[in-house]
Structure 1
């Protein structure tokens, strides 16, 4: 089926940087050629000649109370501010329009600010309330969507310096599926000590303001935020919206070359530019201007220049410039801030200059628009960004709609052809499934002991906070009369992967570069590829990868943060790139030569389902023939587990049999670790190559409840999950009564159990008492990001065997009108519905169809 791609236009913008607090100020600062890179008072304390582009001006927070502001970190506050401006500019009021508006946020260092006082050994500044509200990587999207009233589903992109460009691409692709006519895309990035120290220690920083492509090489770090309201063109015209430009196409790629350095041949950058033009049905001759990444470092500027020469035969005639000499390198928000700069200046035929330009460096011989604006009409332009790990992004845009020809794609059906898993139950998916069907009893959990020093640190935090009336009220409202100190003495355990020797299972494995979480991910990926009969030879660009993260490489982060003191100038450079959320994807891409579309999502629990839904879109739209999707987790430190418990019902247990999901006798959840991966591909492609097909992904739905600050609003949470279910059924074109099995992923907390049960009641009505309902989390523990993927693997095995395994341990179920499976059930399963939710209220529903 041939489909014409929807045109996606920009109907609202928001901005914050060192040189402006809104879009109007930003335009004037650009025209005035204002450079916001200055000596940093904050970082001169530690670093010699420290320069930065910092947001120092006083800011206001529209519609937020002082209490709310105090609980939020700058990543969320800035995202809210620019998002609010974009929605206002786009005249998108609260109500039906925002209810169906999605949110995609790109950020590199989210969830950091609340713990900076601990990192800097300034305990008196630590706020438990801020840690609870804003202390997780995934909290930013949940906070902003709730405050702005956006309920069309959200994702958090964590691909370091390409995060906001990547987020724009996901927003663009989501509009193509028809579920969202509007998507708010945000990039937000405050500068924190760990980030500054990492770049400084790598000798990437310039001691004076950066001068891309000229003079002494080096980058200047910056901070800020930007927002774009993306909207389907006809929808925008119908409601009379002002249109500021069009996002014509988008692509990503991966170098699969090195953890920090770009491929000196520029192959990944070449690939991403060509792919973006291919998606737009245009050629190099159609590009009138390129806004480059242009960090100012020797490696970036040389490789980027080489890549453009390879792609554009007429490159000497095309002006190219870097906006980073204005506001520095804004890391996660760089791409979106730079694209907004283009939309503000190009309509007036003003081509942005590269400021601070002096003597060009060797091999940098293009028209970099040195120091002064150039006059010229630009119909279509290109925006490029690159990141650690070789993540490459390219957006093609125009200042007026319909400057490009209509583009088309053949709509594909999407199949699962490969699966892999690593859990406490088994180091391979097959061994895990064999143990489950053999009903082998689970061994005891690995004991988790809160060390005396950590216990005292925790008590010290609580004692310090008890002098703060606001925090006392917060603790009382959340935990009532519960004795928190007694909770610290509770015995607990985790489902830990033990006895694993990766060297015996992997062809290419470098233990010097592999941390625990990356090892889990790589093992699951290689299993999925072997299962699918897929070997990467010279065709790595045809295989992409989307990984979902919850807490990411925690052990590496911990080691890196510990190295900051006593001297942050001597931080461990080897740990810095490995502490980023996309480090797992980087390691796996390099190990297996995966060079196609590449994104890391950090949306929290069930982030793997977010990866699956986006991978599905890339295949459905013919952008990639094959994708690896999934997630990986390593067990948290004891301190992190107890801090998480304080924020989620204080339920921890040391007996695996206490993990009773959908039970009236719930006693607690059990953390887990491991990975779950799927290889999905174009169904016709799979059939043509004779691949075994586990199941078809027939449709999915996504919605968020906007209840981050009101988790007790159960009707809204149920409504959100119901909306996701209805979307999945509609896309799969099946009726509720055709569903043969429902599999949830609740962690067993009564409120999360109630959301899944309530949504099934609403979506299926009287039929809900007849459809078998399962959940297998208690087998392997709550493997946060990949729990939905692991359950999908079990469900596809059920389709194959015709036998539904019971929910382990639960006997006294919490609902009598739901068909919970308590005994093995012989049943043919043709259509199965997978449910999942994040801790921030994002809800997923995925419909699987048997191909038997």
Structure 2
């Protein structure tokens, strides 16, 4: 069915940068050609000639209590500030509008600040309260949505330097599918020591302010935040909103070339620009201006110039500039700040200059608008950003909203045509399913003891011992565990579902153990299984296949190694670990290994982030942006330090015995951590039929919502209502009712609170049909955080094949007699199923699948 793409306009903006802390002042600073890059007040302590674009203004928070401010990190505070400003400018003040507004945050270094005192060995400055509130990677999204009253679902994109540009594209898609009329996009990025040290050690820094495309090469790191409120054009007009610009299309791609260096042939950059133009139904001749990534490094500037030459035959006639010469490289918030600069200056028929421009470098021979504004009327412009791992993103936008430009797409049916996984049960999906249905697996064998005596670095042990002497931590441990020290608890109670006896070299065709950490290995094993299962061989068509990964804690082992190398001398940090410590490193590793060059994104929304990846992959295929998408999640067993901090900051207690992991239990709560990966291949019906692919199921629709209870977590009624909203949205898109659902599968982590929220939402959605079976299979694998819902969903696919439902394992007495919990293996005709999931921050997913005969 041919559909017109909805017009997506910008109706609100917010900014916080080194040169201004509000939109009007930022606009003036741009026209004044103000450069915010100067010697760093903080990092000169460690690094010679350290320059940075830092936020040094005194900021006040009159709408927040002192207690709330102290519990938040800069990433969340800044996101709240610019998001609030954007909503205020858009006059989106009423509760009804905000309830339907989604939030997407782009960031690279989230959840870091609370632990900086530990990283910098300043233990007396460690705040347990800040760790509890702001200590997870996904906390920023949950905090901001709660404070601003946004309930339309949230996501956190962690693709390093393309994160906020990528977030704009995802928001664009939310609006295309009628999920939201308004989406708040935020990019936020404080500079922390690990980030600064990493770029410094890579010798990417310049001793003076960066001068993209000219003079001596080198980047200047920056920090800041920006926000754009995206809105359906008709909705904006109906409420009388002021329109500041319009988004026409976007695209992403992956070089699949190197962990840090761009492809010297610039193929990924060429692909992403061409895709963005095609999605907007435009040609290269339609673009009047390009806002370049323009970091100032030799490799970026050379490759980016080459890419533009390949895409635009008339490139010498197109002005190009880099906003990073004003505010430095803002990493995760770079794209949105640069887009915002365009929306402020282009309506004045002025094109931003590239400041600090001197002599063009070799092979940099385009019109980079040196130092002075030029006058030009711009209808369509392109905003490009590139990131470590070869992640590329391009947005086509404009400022003339009175001249509509419409594109169309054919809505596709989306099938699941490939599956792969690795868990504590087995190393393949097929073997896992056979063992689960036969009951022939030794659960005791999969569980490994975790204690402080396991093999960790000496300084980590000393750090834990020192942290245990912190009075605030000791009191918390006493209140929570009935003792003053957590060490004894961990040594006796901590267990985890481990993947044992794995030799990846026997499974993977292309595997370099020197470059592979544990989590990336798990992801690659699940991914290659999925491709084999789908009979999809990548030859020279990697650009037709995309990859979206959902992350919870990400590459913990690599992060720990990298952080350990910061001291005693942060100038000698291990550069080999720096790119691998990023959240999108897993997607990078898989893409390079298999040559996957299509749409590429990493979501780091926490527990069940894989369901967010699944929904987004479905949306990309549904809109015909990509014929095939790999979607999945991966987790490695938590390190000792990770378990220690998890026990401090998490509501759950890890259980001693796997049989005590009883989901929806009347009297037992707790969890067992798990590790592993799950992957799916989503494919358009046309693509699947053209290659005679095996089809597991059709994706009928999805729903997303979030509560605003991050600071009120015991509000079960409001939180369950949010999950019900996600269920209703999924059923609506699927065009069915709850009466058509044959099985509901939850993915509660096992805490009493999550059990009650999920069961309450199910009861509120069942209506009169109280007999629908309800299952949850986390007990088999442990809580594989990002992949929990996906692993449950894989069992649902097998249920379609066998027409038999597995029971919930181990639970003896269930907490609600009105729910038809699956207590024994059950024969039943299964046609349509509903998969549910929630993040620890209060984001909810519902996905409807239908078996295909």
TM-score, L = length of structure 2: 0.97
> How far does residue 487 in structure 1 lie from its aligned partner after superposition?
3.6
Q: Which residue does 1:7 correspond to in 2? A: 7
Q: Which residue does 1:801 correspond to in 2? A: 802
Q: Which residue does 1:613 correspond to in 2? A: 615
In the alignment, the residues of structure 1 paired with residue 652 and residue 270 of structure 2 have an alpha-carbon distance, to the nearest angstrom, of 51
In the alignment, the residues of structure 2 paired with residue 496 and residue 94 of structure 1 have an alpha-carbon distance, to the nearest angstrom, of 49
In the alignment, the residues of structure 2 paired with residue 33 and residue 399 of structure 1 have an alpha-carbon distance, to the nearest angstrom, of 21
In the alignment, the residues of structure 1 paired with residue 359 and residue 433 of structure 2 have an alpha-carbon distance, to the nearest angstrom, of 63
1:65-93 deviations in Å (ceiling 9; x for gaps) = 11101001000000000000000000001
Match of 1:515 among 517, 534, 537: 517
8 A contact 1:94–1:149 mirrored in 2: no
8 A contact 1:62–1:81 mirrored in 2: no
> How far does residue 460 in structure 1 lie from its aligned partner after superposition?
3.7
In the alignment, the residues of structure 2 paired with residue 570 and residue 457 of structure 1 have an alpha-carbon distance, to the nearest angstrom, of 21
> How far does residue 437 in structure 1 lie from its aligned partner after superposition?
0.7
In the alignment, the residues of structure 2 paired with residue 457 and residue 327 of structure 1 have an alpha-carbon distance, to the nearest angstrom, of 36
Secondary structure of 2:68's aligned partner = helix
Secondary structure of 1:766's aligned partner = coil
In the alignment, the residues of structure 1 paired with residue 722 and residue 795 of structure 2 have an alpha-carbon distance, to the nearest angstrom, of 25
> How far does residue 644 in structure 1 lie from its aligned partner after superposition?
1.5
1:537-566 deviations in Å (ceiling 9; x for gaps) = 111110001000000000000000000111
Q: Which residue does 1:753 correspond to in 2? A: 755
Q: Which residue does 1:118 correspond to in 2? A: 118
8 A contact 2:53–2:327 mirrored in 1: yes
Q: After the TM superposition, which residues 267-286 of structure 1 pair with which residues of structure 2 at under 5 Å, given as runs?
A: 267-286=267-286
8 A contact 1:320–1:369 mirrored in 2: yes
Q: Structure 1 residue 638 and structure 2 residue 640: aligned?
A: yes
Q: Structure 1 residue 827 and structure 2 residue 833: aligned?
A: no
1:641-667 deviations in Å (ceiling 9; x for gaps) = 232223333411231111000011214
> How far does residue 434 in structure 1 lie from its aligned partner after superposition?
1.1
TM-score, L = length of structure 1: 0.98
Q: Which residue does 1:582 correspond to in 2? A: 584
Match of 1:464 among 437, 460, 470: 470
Q: Structure 1 residue 663 and structure 2 residue 669: aligned?
A: no
Q: After the TM superposition, which residues 453-852 of structure 1 pair with which residues of structure 2 at under 5 Å, given as runs?
A: 457-458=463-464, 460-466=466-472, 479=480, 485=486, 487-488=489-490, 490-768=492-770, 770-852=771-853
8 A contact 2:450–2:491 mirrored in 1: no
Ranges in structure 2 where 5+ consecutive residues have no aligned partner: none
1:474-515 deviations in Å (ceiling 9; x for gaps) = 889x84977664644542210000110111111111111111
Q: Which residue does 1:103 correspond to in 2? A: 103
8 A contact 1:421–1:427 mirrored in 2: yes
1:599-643 deviations in Å (ceiling 9; x for gaps) = 000000000000000001001111000000010000111232232
Q: After the TM superposition, which of the residue ranges 647-656 and 720-729 deviates more from structure 2?
A: 647-656
In the alignment, the residues of structure 1 paired with residue 752 and residue 616 of structure 2 have an alpha-carbon distance, to the nearest angstrom, of 30
Distance 1:164 1:62, change over 3 A: farther
Q: After the TM superposition, which residues 299-378 of structure 1 pair with which residues of structure 2 at under 5 Å, given as runs?
A: 299-378=299-378
8 A contact 1:209–1:325 mirrored in 2: yes
Q: Which residue does 2:37 correspond to in 1? A: 37
8 A contact 1:282–1:404 mirrored in 2: no
Q: How many residues align?
A: 846
Q: After the TM superposition, which residues 379-394 of structure 1 pair with which residues of structure 2 at under 5 Å, given as runs?
A: 379-394=379-394
Q: Which residue does 2:406 correspond to in 1? A: 406
8 A contact 2:453–2:491 mirrored in 1: no
Secondary structure of 1:251's aligned partner = strand
Secondary structure of 1:786's aligned partner = helix
> How far does residue 442 in structure 1 lie from its aligned partner after superposition?
1.2
In the alignment, the residues of structure 1 paired with residue 477 and residue 243 of structure 2 have an alpha-carbon distance, to the nearest angstrom, of 47
Q: After the TM superposition, which of the residue ranges 561-570 and 55-64 deviates more from structure 2?
A: 55-64
In the alignment, the residues of structure 2 paired with residue 488 and residue 730 of structure 1 have an alpha-carbon distance, to the nearest angstrom, of 46
> How far does residue 402 in structure 1 lie from its aligned partner after superposition?
5.2
In the alignment, the residues of structure 2 paired with residue 540 and residue 287 of structure 1 have an alpha-carbon distance, to the nearest angstrom, of 27
Q: Which residue does 1:236 correspond to in 2? A: 236
Secondary structure of 1:69's aligned partner = helix
What RMSD over aligned residues (CA atoms) do the two structures have, in Å? 1.5
8 A contact 2:295–2:324 mirrored in 1: yes
Secondary structure of 1:424's aligned partner = coil
In the alignment, the residues of structure 2 paired with residue 680 and residue 659 of structure 1 have an alpha-carbon distance, to the nearest angstrom, of 32
Secondary structure of 2:800's aligned partner = helix
8 A contact 1:102–1:154 mirrored in 2: yes
Secondary structure of 1:385's aligned partner = strand
In the alignment, the residues of structure 2 paired with residue 466 and residue 779 of structure 1 have an alpha-carbon distance, to the nearest angstrom, of 36
Q: After the TM superposition, which residues 17-416 of structure 1 pair with which residues of structure 2 at under 5 Å, given as runs?
A: 17-401=17-401, 403=403, 405-416=405-416
8 A contact 2:272–2:392 mirrored in 1: yes
In the alignment, the residues of structure 2 paired with residue 771 and residue 369 of structure 1 have an alpha-carbon distance, to the nearest angstrom, of 64
Ranges in structure 1 where 5+ consecutive residues have no aligned partner: none
In the alignment, the residues of structure 2 paired with residue 750 and residue 806 of structure 1 have an alpha-carbon distance, to the nearest angstrom, of 20
In the alignment, the residues of structure 1 paired with residue 648 and residue 774 of structure 2 have an alpha-carbon distance, to the nearest angstrom, of 30
In the alignment, the residues of structure 2 paired with residue 837 and residue 772 of structure 1 have an alpha-carbon distance, to the nearest angstrom, of 19
Secondary structure of 2:140's aligned partner = helix
In the alignment, the residues of structure 2 paired with residue 489 and residue 458 of structure 1 have an alpha-carbon distance, to the nearest angstrom, of 13
1:793-832 deviations in Å (ceiling 9; x for gaps) = 1001011001101110002011100000111100111000
1:698-751 deviations in Å (ceiling 9; x for gaps) = 011000011111001111100000000111111111111110000010011111
Q: After the TM superposition, which of the residue ranges 147-156 and 756-765 deviates more from structure 2?
A: 756-765
8 A contact 1:603–1:838 mirrored in 2: yes
In the alignment, the residues of structure 1 paired with residue 752 and residue 652 of structure 2 have an alpha-carbon distance, to the nearest angstrom, of 12
8 A contact 1:490–1:652 mirrored in 2: no
Q: Which residue does 1:430 correspond to in 2? A: 430
